[in-house]
Amino acid sequence: MNLEKDKFLGRISSQYRDIYKVLVNEKEILGQVSGKFIYNSFNKEDYPAVGDYVQLDRDDDKAGNAIIEKVFERKTVFKRKNANNGQNEVLASNIDYVFICMSLNNDFNIRRLERYIAVCYESGAIPVIVLTKADLCEDITEKLMEVEEVSIGIDILIVSYKDKKSIEQVCSYLKEGVTICFIGSSGVGKSTLINNILGEDRLATNGLRNDDKGRHTTTRREMFVLDNKSVVIDTPGMRELSVDTKDLDKTFTDIAELEKMCKFSDCTHTNEPNCAIKEAIENGSLCSKRYASYVKLKEESKYLNLNFKEIEKEKIKKMFGSKKEYKNISRHIKNKNKY
């Protein structure tokens, strides 16, 4: 990191619109970006995000907010693409592990898990699956098998706040300098787990006694530093997480392998002969729902990287096979109307 002379290194710990909380020399201070920063920033993703290392003009906020002068290059970036304007939003950065939390009771959903894994690989961080509320689940072995099927090579932790040993397992990842971001639907127990890791109730959780059902307690992404200098980031539940294709092959290694075995390299796995995907679905070695999930994510990410005009073109292509065909059809219609 290229810190200029007489400047200070900080790390963004949370964001409140244009004001940031920044950790500097183990203190938390308030900061905002400089006018020059705004002038030089064209995209939303250029702005500071939780987890970013930044250069500050001072290390206190006694005489007003510290000025954030630049954001240092991100080692890993956890992004979400806004489907409406195509802009990327950085959710968190410089993360070593993403703990994908899913409860073993109501929230259990393998298809959603696949999506989270894909998002995580895209970020560059290492995914770890955390299955929560083990105390509320009666068929753990069965569910674990389902999870294992879609998470080859990924660590899986089973936790319950009632089981201290299971919390210790989570803590074993928290080494000095390591940053872990917790993601997953609202209510699965992320904040509860982090409180248990911190050893104190620092975070508000969705308590059953005095809270409405389904209320979102964690409202913003927030970073906490442990005594051993490891860092955890809590996030609120994220409804729509868009996925980019580049790394779908990592999430669906089984499908990527099968595709290589189709007779035709451009096989669409629909009506070609000797299609390895179709065969695998027929003989039961590939779950059809998993394949459908893969197709859906792939389709989604294809659209994400297109601009408006390209999306329209794609839609036409889908309807009529190709643009050329569409032109032929429209000419045909026009001619028909002439006579």
Binding site for Mg ion (CB under 5 A): 190-191, 218
Torsion of CA 319, 323, 324, 329, to 10 degrees: 40
Q: C-alpha angle with apex 65: 201 to 12, nearest 5 degrees?
A: 50
Residue 143 within binding range of ligand GDP, rule CB under 6 A: no
C-beta closer to Zn ion: residue 68 or 262: 262
Angle between helices 308-320 and 288-304 (to 10 degrees): 140
First to last CA, the chain: 72
With CB under 5 to 8 Å by kind, the binding choice for 326 among Mg ion, ligand GDP, Zn ion, none is: none
CA distance 332 to 311: 24
Which residues neighbour 290 within 8 Å (Cβ) at sequence distance 6 or greater?
110, 114, 149, 150, 252, 255
Count of C-beta atoms within a 10 Å radius of residue 298: 15
Q: Which of 76, 93, 218, 251 binds ligand GDP (CB under 6 A)?
A: 218
With CB under 5 to 8 Å by kind, the binding choice for 207 among Mg ion, Zn ion, ligand GDP, none is: ligand GDP
With CB under 5 to 8 Å by kind, the binding choice for 135 among Mg ion, Zn ion, ligand GDP, none is: ligand GDP
C-beta closer to Mg ion: residue 124 or 236: 236
Residue 133 within binding range of ligand GDP, rule CB under 6 A: yes
Residue 167 within binding range of ligand GDP, rule CB under 6 A: no
C-beta closer to Zn ion: residue 79 or 269: 269
Tokens encoding 165: 């040993």
Minimum distance between the CB of residue 226 and ligand GDP, rounded to whole angstroms? 18
Rule CB under 6 A: which residues touch ligand GDP?
132-133, 135-136, 160-161, 186-192, 205-208, 217-218
